[in-house]
Amino acid sequence: MSDLIQSLALAASGMDAQARRLRHVTENIANADTPGYRRKTVAFHATADGGVRTGPVRLDPRSLPQVFDPAHPLADESGHYLGANVDPVIELADAREARRSYDANLRMFDQARQMTQSLLELLRR
């Protein structure tokens, strides 16, 4: 029974990590047009019990692009301001990957739950 409970815990840790990743991806997409915004990334780390946890949020170190728009209130004398270093194509790919990984962990969680339920039904007989 403890193996089934551990399976539930492992799947839950994977779902939590992917949900956090997806939250940062959506923040990045929402701020893709915000001047000076740096893309947020999160790393995964293995835990002692075989699960996964998220590390600290990191800001993408890539340089911010110079955007030419003399009418923008943040533009300098040359008409440039710093844009965001968010690439929507990369963010959408990351979102798709996070969703698929979350779904895989959800299926594993559901299988472990069904096995636990079947075991309890067998014990009742």
pLDDT (tens digit per residue) in 22-78:
999 999 999 999 999 999 999 999 998 889 999 999 999 999 999 999 999 999 999
Instruction: Report the domain count for the chain.
Output: 1
Residue 58 phi, psi dihedral angles, 5° rounding: -115, 150
CA-nearest of 35, 50, 33, 25 to 105 is 50
The parent domain of residue 28 ranges over 2-124
How many CB atoms are located within 10 Å of the residue 92 CB?
12
Tell me the Cα Rg of the chain.
Answer: 21
